[in-house]
């Protein structure tokens, strides 16, 4: 298994776990998602 395949697999597992109902409410998930997207795309 290549590094790219392993990375995709782990990302998919993480995505499924973070979108499991009952862990956090939907609004909190959306706010965290927005913050991460902004942080990753932010240029110095």
Q: What is the pLDDT of residues 5-43, one digit of tens each?
A: 999 999 899 888 877 777 788 888 889 888 888 888 765
> Which residues are CB-contacts of 38 (< 8 A; sequence separation ≥ 6)?
none
Measured in degrees and rounded to the nearest 5, phi and psi for residue 11 equal -60, -45
Beta carbons of 18 and 29 less than 8 angstroms apart: yes
Predicted confidence at residue 42, as pLDDT, reads 65
Whole-model pTM?
A: 0.48
Q: SS3 for 21?
A: coil
pLDDT for 43 equals 56
Query: Which residue range is the domain that position 7 belongs to?
Result: 3-41
Q: What is the pLDDT of residue 26?
A: 83
How many domains does the structure of the chain reveal? 1
What does the pLDDT read at residue 44? 45
């Amino acid at each position: 298994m290549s590094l790219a395949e392993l990375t995709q697999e782990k990302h998919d597992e993480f995505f499924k776990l973070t979108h499991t109902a009952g862990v956090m409410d939907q609004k909190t998930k959306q706010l965290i998602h927005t913050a991460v997207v902004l942080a990753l795309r932010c240029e110095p």
